Structure 1
Amino acid sequence: MDDMHNGFILFFIVFFTPLVFILTYLPVTVVLTDFSVRWFRAPAERIILAGVGYGLVGYIAFGAYFLSSQIGRVVTLTVALALLVTSWRSGWWKGGAARRDPLVSVLLLMVTFTIALAATGLAYGGFVDVLAEAAVRFTHHLPIDNELPRMFGDGLYGNHVPRPLAGDWLSSDRPPLQTGLELEVALLAPKLGWRHNLIYQLASMGGQSLFLAGLAAYLSAWRLKGGAIAVALVACGFSAIAVIHGYFVWPKLMAAGFILMTAALLLSPKYHEIRESAPHGGLVGATAALAMLSHGGAAFLLIALTLTFLALGRLPHWRFILAGLACFVALMLPWSLYQALIDPPGNRLLKFQLADVVPVDPRGTWTTLRDAYGALSWQEIIQTKWSNFLQIFSAGLEMPRWLWSAGAALLSGDTARYQALSESLRGQLFFLTSAPISAFYLGLPAVLLVVRREAAAARFVLVTGAAFLMTAVVWSLAMFKAGSTITHQGTLAMPLMAIAAGAVGLYALSPWLAIAVTAVEVLISVLLYGVGLPGDFVQVIQHPTLNPGLALIAILGAAGVILGCRRVGMQLGG
């Protein structure tokens, strides 16, 4: 593209990203949190309610477009205008109240993160087909999973969903929430082309940034120090998990955001204040359902959260349980009916992960599982589960090793070795759960040294660590094939929780130690993803050239993310 087009792309990212957030996040956030102040007063609760509202409006958009494209357009426009008018009339923006509201700070952090990551991703080109470029930008060549929600949305918008949707995948094989969120802003660029794809990319990146809201709610619910919250947010925001999966927009990070919100209500000390509350029980059911409607891999951690919750000796009041179940069933039922009646059977991913059955066949899930396990001996089953468990904890030292080896290669002028080491690390950070956690594993022994002085931090690290370990057990037992406990077949909330716990644990021992470890992680991310280019990217985007304007936006955006994390931490800190 020429300079005029490059300038337009820069304007497009900087202008349309806030516009997407204004149309999707902000109005429902203001309206719902203002309406429900009677039940949800704490910052963590308001952040969670905002996330639920965001998801519900997207789900409503999906349902409306399913009925017909005309109904979808009318409903999304009507809801958007009604929410905008109501939020404006509420006067939330008057008197400086918005500047002091941690929820607004979280939303600004999400906008800044999205702009910074979009600018980083497009800094070397790829505007013509941003979805294909995203598949190679930060790691090896990825499949078309980031395009599937858009294909589904385009089908609904045009009143015709292809069957199968892509290849031999059905529309019912992937949950619908990201499709609904994309349809909310479809009118901004309805015609197919690069503008349409870029609007979808920005809207979907906004959805993935929900992990920051979930993380802020989870950290806030434990009444941690502001500095610890800020460092944990930076550590997660600059992690390989956030960079890769925030830009390659399969909806795994969005699911992680809802899971973290569920965890904030169930695992934190906040639970003792809400265990008899039906509205809070409903909130738990809604966040769990929205996580499942984002990505099916959420089930592993949701099961682990429930088991950890029970292991802590917690048993909520029947009102809490009934409200939670009612909200969960009410949200899951429409999609389950779509899978069973509209585009059956909708169980291909289940059969792939739980029984390693890739080809389409007519068997049900339970029959497939029975046949798969019936062909194995007990010894083979136990060996497979154990190897899956061990794999989760492999490669924890890859980032420190890379920093040492890559630094030596650069000092000796061996650029070929540096590139080879970088390619290897990118692969490890994508596939292996422990690779992006790395030195943050030290947070657990660190916090044990100061458990009396930093009781809140110690509780947070120990309970979060228990949930991580429980997830590892559940995930290992569930996956059928040896070696299948790789990051993208699980839930991204799992490594994010470990990174946050490690950062908080290190901060409890020494704030400067936590800052130093986090700074090293940020440096590695900048070198790998900001400066370095994967080999597949260079092959696909021939002669990539740095766009100075986007590079500047990326740098300023990264600085803004760090400052935003600090502001959120200071506002939420106990």
Structure 2
Amino acid sequence: MPNGLLSPVLLLVQAAWLLAPGLVLGLELVRRELIARWLVVPVAGVVGAVFSYAAVWIYLADVTAGTVYSYLTAALAAAAVARLLARPEDRLLLRDVDVAAPLILLYLLTLFLVTATFGCTLRPELHELNEACHLSGLTGDNVLPQFFADHILDRKPRTPVWDWQGSARPPLQSGAVLLQNPITGTDLLRNLGYHTLTVLLQVLVVPSVWALLRCLRLNGYRLVVVLTMFLFTGFFVYNSVFVWPKLLAASLTLTAFALLFFGRPARSMWLLAGFAAGAAMVAHAGVAFTLLPMGILLLWRRYRPSWSHVGLIAAAGLLMQAPWTAYQKLVDPPGDQLLKWHIAGQWQPAFGTDQRTLTELFLENYGDLTFWQIVHNKLTNFETLFGRRITAPYLAGPGPMGILRGEEMSFVLFGLGLFTLALVVPAVPALRRRLAAVLDVARLKIMAIVAGINLVIWPLVLFGPGHPGTDPTIYQGSYAMMALLFIVLGAMLTVLPRLVTNLFVAANVAWTSLLWFVGVWIRHHNHWSYLVLAVLSWAAVLGFLWYAARRLDEHEQAEPAEDVPVEELAVAIPRPRDRRSARK
């Protein structure tokens, strides 16, 4: 296992490779006043996702061409870094708190989570990634993207892994691994390089959460309170280090959300939102539960785009989704194991033996139930949302602490933790009035509506109960919904007295640090070159969050908010049909 001191340098290289071209684009969009500054890093994530997705198809076509593509993108990233450092206007924008703070947090958090993971192993030496203490006790889903990338490199992409077809899981994270194959494909850096890159992909949700909190017009203190509490939850910690690409999909969905509902109504923004939504679907299709209510809300007159803009969104989304759907149906069919499992209630471990379609299985399995059995199943699904005591899985270690970690990862109320206390705010008139004074309530309601619709349709669509995979646990649904719930409830919590809010933050940080880190590290094999870096980066994250709050408040005092409410833009910038009537 490589020395932990390699981690900071490796992370810097991989982050620049993934994000630098997108940062150039994001800063250019800021200069043209098309996006707010807090969207620069999320937009860079979308560009990195598009480059990664392209790698899948180029490597599938020809591995040699894919290798050339990897080196070309590395050269492009190096040129982008050189430009960012050489141009004074780029350096100035990079120092802006809404660009610099998400970037620095992205780096520090990824470094902390990677070193915390590699600092503790079940054996004296780590040979396979899931021999790390944090990654024990669940499944191997976190390494499926690596296996699919390996099979593409071996020119055998249809090779199954365990009971899964390669086409059963969306390929975006595999594309990022292929993009950086000169690093992730080496024997020395196979585990560390893969984990560093994929943790970085999951932590991209943090700049997206930052952007939506800025859209709510929270001051620096309140924004950092919500962000700190979110970062120190079991939900964020575990799903960042156990790198099934669900937080990556959430990040891209939240970026699309910000562009669609709080961005400027320009053609380029609709196109970018379509790419973000499409990239989210080819990262993890669970976010469909959040994209659906977003689409429903866009039908509302207040937010409804013109038909030409709808065409741009659809074209960009289809450009991302259609190739993968065609691959599933034509190259490695049927590619719908997860749908058959979750929606039709049919687990198929031997995926080649049952030739029934999703529709046939859906009708057959629902046809075997009475109306009241179906009602019972759906009510049970809703009950599961509130959590229940479990005996498995033990996450990141055995015993009561392993069960507590499993409950936080599985059930919505356990996962939200202290955030659920925000539900008292609407019931208290004084707090409700204060809410309107400290943030944009209209925007908060939009986020709450999307999360609420998601929370309702998710248990209705899943077959359940029965096999654990058909129950509405957190990891079966949309992580974008969870992120929106954290944002909405966290923003509401900030209207409580500051002393109470500070106690909540301290309790969240202490609980998660003990349960998910100290409690995992003890009684195992520790690697101090990683653990020392983990402790230092933990302290750096907390220190930088405090500093970012001060800088953000100073920034807001010096400059007015740069985004304009959607309703004002609708008046200021007429849609095409309004321009025609104006000319008449």
Bin of the TM-score, shorter chain as denominator length: 0.7 to 0.9
Decide whether the 8 Å contact of 2:234 with 2:409 is kept in 1: yes
| One of 470, 482, 489 as aligned partner of 1:502 | 489
Whichever residue aligns with residue 341 of structure 1, its letter is L
| One of 449, 469, 478 as aligned partner of 2:461 | 478
Decide whether the 8 Å contact of 2:43 with 2:255 is kept in 1: no
TM-score normalized by structure 1? 0.86
Number of residue pairs the alignment of both structures matches: 532
Residue 222 of structure 2 corresponds to 228
Decide whether the 8 Å contact of 1:210 with 1:254 is kept in 2: yes
**Deviation of residue 467 (structure 1)?**
2.4
Residue 577 of structure 2 corresponds to none
**Deviation of residue 469 (structure 1)?**
1.9
| One of 126, 129, 142 as aligned partner of 1:128 | 126
**Deviation of residue 32 (structure 1)?**
4.8
How far, CA to CA, are the matches of 2:270 and 2:424 in structure 1? 34
Whichever residue aligns with residue 336 of structure 1, its letter is T
Residue 323 of structure 1 corresponds to 312
How far, CA to CA, are the matches of 2:416 and 2:280 in structure 1? 22
How far, CA to CA, are the matches of 1:205 and 1:419 in structure 2? 24
Residue 281 of structure 1 corresponds to 270
How far, CA to CA, are the matches of 1:490 and 1:209 in structure 2? 18
Deviation by residue 1:261-320 (Cα, 9 ceiling, x = unmatched): 1222345xx25x42xx32222122111111111111111121133334546853222232
Decide whether the 8 Å contact of 1:52 with 1:287 is kept in 2: yes
How far, CA to CA, are the matches of 2:236 and 2:547 in structure 1? 20
TM-score normalized by structure 2? 0.85
How far, CA to CA, are the matches of 2:307 and 2:126 in structure 1? 54
| One of 347, 372, 378 as aligned partner of 1:358 | 347
**Deviation of residue 15 (structure 1)?**
1.7
Residue 182 of structure 2 corresponds to 187
Whichever residue aligns with residue 539 of structure 2, its letter is A
Q: Percent identity?
A: 25
How far, CA to CA, are the matches of 2:104 and 2:203 in structure 1? 11
CA 1:190–1:265 in structure 2 vs 1: closer, same or farther (change >3 Å)? closer
1:137 aligns with 2:134: yes
Unaligned runs of 5+ in 2: 391-396, 562-584
**Deviation of residue 196 (structure 1)?**
1.0
CA 1:158–1:222 in structure 2 vs 1: closer, same or farther (change >3 Å)? same
Whichever residue aligns with residue 127 of structure 2, its letter is D
Alignment map for 1:18-33 (pairs within 5 Å): 18-33=12-27
How far, CA to CA, are the matches of 2:441 and 2:84 in structure 1? 40
Residue 555 of structure 1 corresponds to 535
450-459 or 486-495: bigger deviation: 450-459
How far, CA to CA, are the matches of 2:39 and 2:103 in structure 1? 15
Matched position secondary structure for 2:162: coil
| One of 266, 288, 291 as aligned partner of 1:302 | 291
1:250 aligns with 2:244: yes
**Deviation of residue 108 (structure 1)?**
1.8
| One of 439, 447, 454 as aligned partner of 2:435 | 454
28-37 or 337-346: bigger deviation: 28-37
1:168 aligns with 2:163: yes
Provide runs of 4+ in structure 1 moved above 6 Å: none
Matched position secondary structure for 2:520: coil
Residue 82 of structure 1 corresponds to 76
1:148 aligns with 2:144: yes
Residue 404 of structure 1 corresponds to none
Whichever residue aligns with residue 129 of structure 2, its letter is L
How far, CA to CA, are the matches of 2:388 and 2:368 in structure 1? 32
**Deviation of residue 446 (structure 1)?**
2.2
Residue 333 of structure 1 corresponds to 322
Residue 71 of structure 1 corresponds to 65
**Deviation of residue 395 (structure 1)?**
5.7
Decide whether the 8 Å contact of 2:377 with 2:463 is kept in 1: yes
Residue 394 of structure 2 corresponds to none
Matched position secondary structure for 1:452: helix
Residue 405 of structure 1 corresponds to none
CA 1:35–1:517 in structure 2 vs 1: closer, same or farther (change >3 Å)? closer
Decide whether the 8 Å contact of 1:30 with 1:92 is kept in 2: no
How far, CA to CA, are the matches of 1:395 and 1:236 in structure 2? 22
1:177 aligns with 2:175: no
**Deviation of residue 335 (structure 1)?**
0.9
CA 1:493–1:562 in structure 2 vs 1: closer, same or farther (change >3 Å)? farther
Decide whether the 8 Å contact of 1:240 with 1:436 is kept in 2: yes
1:114 aligns with 2:110: yes
Decide whether the 8 Å contact of 2:183 with 2:189 is kept in 1: no
**Deviation of residue 566 (structure 1)?**
4.2
Deviation by residue 1:412-471 (Cα, 9 ceiling, x = unmatched): xxxxxx984323211211211211212211223326643334322544544333322211
Residue 420 of structure 2 corresponds to 441
How far, CA to CA, are the matches of 1:185 and 1:79 in structure 2? 9
CA 1:93–1:552 in structure 2 vs 1: closer, same or farther (change >3 Å)? farther
How far, CA to CA, are the matches of 1:40 and 1:437 in structure 2? 34
CA 1:92–1:380 in structure 2 vs 1: closer, same or farther (change >3 Å)? farther
Residue 49 of structure 2 corresponds to 55
CA 1:101–1:243 in structure 2 vs 1: closer, same or farther (change >3 Å)? same
| One of 36, 40, 45 as aligned partner of 2:39 | 45
Residue 468 of structure 1 corresponds to 451
How far, CA to CA, are the matches of 1:27 and 1:285 in structure 2? 19
Residue 508 of structure 2 corresponds to 521
CA 1:69–1:433 in structure 2 vs 1: closer, same or farther (change >3 Å)? same
